[in-house]
Structure 1
Amino acid sequence: MRSSVMKNRWTLDLLPILATASLLIKISGIIALRPELTGPDKAYHNSKVAFRCIAPDSPPPVTYELLKDSTIVIAKDIDPIGDQSSSFFLKVSAASDGSYHCRATAGGKTDVSNSIKLSVVSPPSNTRVTSDPFPPVAYEGSRLVLSCDAETGSHLSYTWYFNRKEVTSSVSTLFHLTGNKLVMESVTPEHAGDYSCWAWSMVYDVRRVSSSLDVLVTIKVYVSKPKISFSIFKEGDSYRGNVTCWSSRGSPPVNFFLLLDNKEVGFVTATDSLTAWFQVAVVPGLDMGVAQCRIKTELQELMSEPMTLEVVPVGGDVKVEVEHLYSAESKMVAARLSCHVSRGTFPHFSWLLNDTVLPSESHEDFHSQSTLPHFVLADHRQTLILTKLDPKESGYYRCRARDDYEDSGPWVESAAEIVQVTDSANNKTSCAPQHNDVYLTTIEVITIAFCCFLLLTLAVVSACMYKMFDHNHAHTHISSPKSEALPLSEPTSGKLADTSSTDCDVLN
């Protein structure tokens, strides 16, 4: 009974204390400050920015302080009437980068706001393109990296331009973009051209740009195996050979060397082309040695095939070969005459029609003479093509040859070949040698001979088969049971004797 009374008294003594604590909690909740800070999170260097701080529903007066990195007081302001924000204006410098808070004091209470991290952005300047390797020259298949470097600037982005067109991810087959670099893993001639870049920064809707100058990227092509040739010309009473060395593919400059019997006799640096010329002494009819071309670049050294420097004078037999050209309907539409000389390194050809030299001028000049209106000279005049066959092209054709380097040298001539063109209804054309009325090509002669042989063989086989059949018929008649028996002493008939003695007995 006593313990129960003591417990109730203890409870009654705690009630005023609990009521007072509850009242204090309610009063503290009313005067909580809860300040809020607003402002930019990035700003350009040397620009001006504003931070605003407010502690709503705080009892006036309210004191606001702008703090940097939680300890440094930047500015201070007082709101005497309450519910008014305080603004703090800053000129941004490199030291402005950091975290900012607002501290509010009112009714004896102090509280700190949220934080804002301010990043100071420096605009780019003095942007240029650098390369690896430097200078920006690379051989096909190698790696080339371009960098967009700004002397100053922070928080930068980059845009690349190739031949004044923006490089985007859609051209990833040629380029790879990473940071401020433009990477070409395996360059080709397509990568050659002008490159530039923009370095830029963006603060909200304001962009600052610094552009570079154009940089020329050169892609070198590996030089192909050199080739060699030579010609000859007369200089006074002597002769000179002009040896030509060249490559069909590659990037100059290229160093050309001429070797004669493995000894270097000439050197030329070709800066704008892939061809070099060398002059050597030549005597027609003599072997002047073996020549080779050698090419040398910073990465390559190649040799041409060897070539003997020997000039064989024109001579020996000359002949004309005639070939007929047919359309898809097997109609003869043209004739090709080729001139062949048995020896000569540099022959010069000429054609004659009925002992009149065919001129070498153009069709128009030739047509004006009304001699041979339809013709073409090809293969350095070695081939004469009659492009339209009509009676005007009929006549005796000959070709002749002389040394090309001797303008007044002697000619060697072929025999004349007649080309007879008739204007018949079936448009048949006869091309014949001088001693025949009809010219037959080698294939035509072989064909006719084969046909004659085949006909003769068929005729002999038919005769033999006929005689064999006649002999068998007669033999069957003699052996028949119904036939009258002949005396043993009676000789056989002359017909049977003749048959048995023929050359076809082997078939029985």
Structure 2
Amino acid sequence: MFPSFFVVTLGLCYCLKESSQVTLVRPVLIGPSEALVKSVVDFECALDTDPWNDTVLFQLYKEDNHDKLLGEYSSMDWEAAVIPILVKTYHEGNLECVAKAQNNSDIEPIVSYTHYLKVIEPVKGAKIDVLSGPVKFFEGKTLKLRCNITAGTHVSYKWLLNGRPISQSPLHRFADDSLWIYRTTSKDSGSYKCVATNNFNNTQFFTTNSSEVLITVKDVVSVPDISFTVSKEDSQYSAIVACQSTKGSLPITFSLYSKTELVANMTVEETNAAFEVPVVLGRHLGWLQCWANNGDQTQYSEWIPLEVVPVVGPVKMHYDYDTGENYAVTSLRLYCKAAKGSFPRYQWFINTTLLHDRGSFYHVVNQPPEQSVLLLSVGRSSTGTYHCEVSDSFDNTTAISSKRRYLDKDVLNRLPTLVVAAVFGCFIALILLVSVCCLVGVMFRRRVYGHKSLSLEMDKMVAAYEGELDLSDYSEDADVVVAAREGEFDQASEASADEWPQIEEEKKTL
């Protein structure tokens, strides 16, 4: 019986303990949503009910971190608790208030709903760090800059290049406090500066500017072009070889090679260089190539032959033209070309007068060594005798002339003799063809209708002959009649044979 009494007693004690526990209503936490660092702000925590008189302890924590107490307040009469805190950056986040009975551990603590606090620390101490490496590099590489600040929360960044804002693009990307520039070119060179800003309640604004960082993006030297001209001095000829790049950061080192042999090189503060090489006219002296380098990589030109061919005749001149209204010739293009020559010089003449590059009615377009073109507007002022002369550009002591051609507006618009003869001949041939066709047609019709007349005449003669033989009076039997008729036919045939000469004579008459 004693064990049963012990169990009943233990159960009663447990029930009394359970009935003595009181559950508090969830407290309400009220406070600012944004605060400046190092400022003092108050958070209010209150309960909606007052079930009994007891001291309630209100404590302020960050969510999921009850090891660090932010503040507390004891309320004697269940009044609202005001908990002041000195704002620090680690206070940012979700805050919650815990209410519990200070003198009764049987009352379970209860936690309020969370309240988010945004902590603003004024920005300051901006500085640019170059994360990609040296501040001088060649194009094509990636530039990465970071704007470091010594203090500041909720900061926005703006980047400036030479005082102008940088806009985001596929090659210019912003990531928090960093700027990435892909496939850089010389246009990305300049002074970079970052501007860091933040604000409190959109009423107080804080800004800090970094010092400028100079970034130099150097252009890789482009593939050089190679060409040469010829000069003459005291009967000696030299080739002036030019190496030309369109772009490239200076200085540039140019080198001239003949196959694998270095002819000469030089470093210049410009994008071109010139080398002098002796030549012999009419002789192939090998192949030349230019090399260019400005510190990143070497670029190579094409190979060209070192050969100078003097101008050789004949010099040919021809033209074509444009027409206007009524097919009248309005403009001419005269072409002049020599048979051979590496460096020809073309000169145009009208009536032995040298024409310059441009005049009132002409324009000279030189396209050496292929040819030279003289553009003419046809009119009274352009009338004259034209020819061109070709000589070596490096030695004009001898010149080869083309044939002379007289040109004026009337001559150009006159029909050529061959054209007139061809048109007239075609007309005569057409008339003869029509006449022959008509004659053949007449002869064919006479022949056809002549045979038809002869056949009709013979039919009439046969009918008349048969009319004279009336067989209706004979009463012989059929065999006798047939025999008689056969005899008559024989006589008729003999008679017809006698008449053939007459028939032939009538046929000739027809």
Using the size of structure 2 for normalisation, the TM-score is: 0.64
Name the structure 2 match of 1:385. 375
On the 8 A contact 1:37/1:113 being kept in 2, the answer is no
The answer on whether the counterparts of 1:293 and 1:303 sit within 8 Å (CA) in structure 2 is: yes
Secondary structure of 2:289's counterpart equals strand
Aligned to 1:49: 40
Question: What is the distance in 2 between the residues matched to 1:222 and 1:82?
Answer: 82
Identity score, percent: 20
Q: Hey, what's the Cα distance between the residues in 1 that align with 2:80 and 2:426?
A: 126
CA deviation map 1:344-368 (0-9, x unaligned): 22222222222233345x64xxxxx
Aligned to 1:335: 332
Deviation of 1:486 (Å): 8.1
Equivalent in the alignment of 2:165: 165
Q: Find the partner of 2:393 among 401, 404, 408.
A: 404
List aligned pairs for 1:286-301, cutoff 5 A.
286-295=283-292
What SS does the corresponding residue of 2:288 show, helix, strand or coil?
strand
Specify the code of the residue in structure 2 equivalent to 1:127. K
Of Structure 1 and Structure 2, the greater helix share is in 2
Aligned with residue 403 of structure 2, among 415, 429, 433: 415
Residue type matched to 2:132 in 1?
D
Partner of 2:347: 350
> 1-side partners of 2:167 and 2:228: how far apart?
49
Q: For 2:401 and 2:438, locate their aligned partners in 1 and report how far apart those are by CA, in whole Å.
A: 57
* 2:309 is aligned with 1:320: no
Query: Compared with structure 1, are the counterparts of its residues 218 and 94 closer, same or farther at alpha carbon in structure 2 (3 Å cutoff)?
Result: same
When residues 234 and 487 of structure 1 are mapped into structure 2, their CA distance, relative to the original with a 3 A threshold, is: farther
Structure with the greater alpha carbon radius of gyration: 2
Give, in whole Å, the separation in 1 of the partners of 2:326 and 2:144: 64
- Letter of the structure 2 residue corresponding to residue 192 of structure 1: D
Kindly provide the CA deviation profile for residues 401-422 of structure 1, in whole angstroms up to 9, marking residues without a partner as x.
Answer: 2221225x1222223211123x
> Distance in 2 between the 1:138 and 1:55 partners?
66
For 1:287, give the aligned amino acid: H
Asked if residue 375 in structure 1 is aligned to residue 362 in structure 2, the reply is yes
Match of 1:497 in 2: none
Going from structure 1 to structure 2, the CA distance change for 1:463 and 1:256 (only over 3 Å counts) comes to farther
Q: Give the aligned partner of residue 307 of structure 1.
A: 304
Displacement after TM superposition at 1:488 (Å):
13
Q: Separation in 1 of the partners of 2:422 and 2:129? A: 81
CA distance in 1, matches of 2:420, 2:238: 52
- Give the structure 2 partner of residue 430 of structure 1: 411
Aligned to 1:430, what secondary structure does the other structure show?
A: helix
Compared CA separation, residues 328 and 244, structure 1 to 2 (3 A): farther
The answer to whether residue 263 in structure 2 is matched with residue 265 in structure 1 is: yes
TM superposition shift of 1:167: 3.2
The equivalent of 1:148 in structure 2 is 146
Distance 1:79 1:431, change over 3 A: same
Q: 1:71 offset after TM fit, Å?
A: 6.5
CA RMSD of aligned residues (A): 5.2
Q: Which residue of 1 aligns with 2:383?
A: 394
Query: Residue 159 of structure 1 contacts residue 197 of structure 1 at CA under 8 Å; is this kept in 2?
Result: yes
Change (3 A) 1:104 1:48: farther
What is the deviation of 1:150? 0.8
Correspondence for 1:245: 243
Q: Which amino acid aligns with 2:282?
A: G
Deviation per residue, 1:456-482 (Å, 9 max, x gap): 654664465455445545655765653
Taking the aligned partners of 2:313 and 2:287, their CA distance within structure 1 comes to: 25
Q: For 2:126, what is the secondary structure of its paired residue? A: strand
List per-residue Cα deviations over 1:139-191 (Å, max 9, x = no partner).
55x6x3534231434544443436523535xx4x4444433344456x37697
Q: 1:156 to 1:264 in 2, by over 3 A?
A: farther
Query: What are the equivalent positions in structure 2 for 1:2-401 lying under 5 Å apart?
Result: 38-40=30-32, 43-45=35-37, 47-53=38-44, 86=82, 88=84, 90=86, 92=88, 114=112, 122=121, 123-132=123-132, 134-135=134-135, 137=137, 139-140=139-140, 144=142, 146-153=144-151, 155-161=153-159, 163=161, 164-165=164-165, 167=167, 171=169, 173-183=170-180, 187=183, 192=188, 196-205=193-202, 206-212=204-210, 213=212, 216=215, 218=217, 223=222, 226-247=224-245, 255-269=253-267, 272-273=270-271, 275-295=272-292, 303-327=300-324, 330-360=327-357, 363=359, 373-379=360-366, 382-387=372-377, 389-401=378-390
Check 1:231–1:399 CA distance in 2 against 1; reply closer, same or farther (3 A cut).
same
- Residue by residue, what CA displacement relative to the aligned partner does 1:285-315 show, whole Å, maximum 9, x if unpaired? 3323222334557776554443222222223
Gap regions ≥5 residues in structure 1: 1-16, 364-372, 422-428, 433-437, 494-508
Return the offset for 1:49.
1.8
Separation in 2, partners of 1:284, 1:251: 38
Q: Distance in 1 between matches of 2:266 and 2:324?
A: 51
Scaled by the length of structure 1, the TM-score of the pair is 0.64
**Paired residue type of 1:345:** S
Per the TM alignment, residue 340 of structure 1 is displaced from its structure 2 partner at its CA by 2.4
Shift of 1:256: 3.9
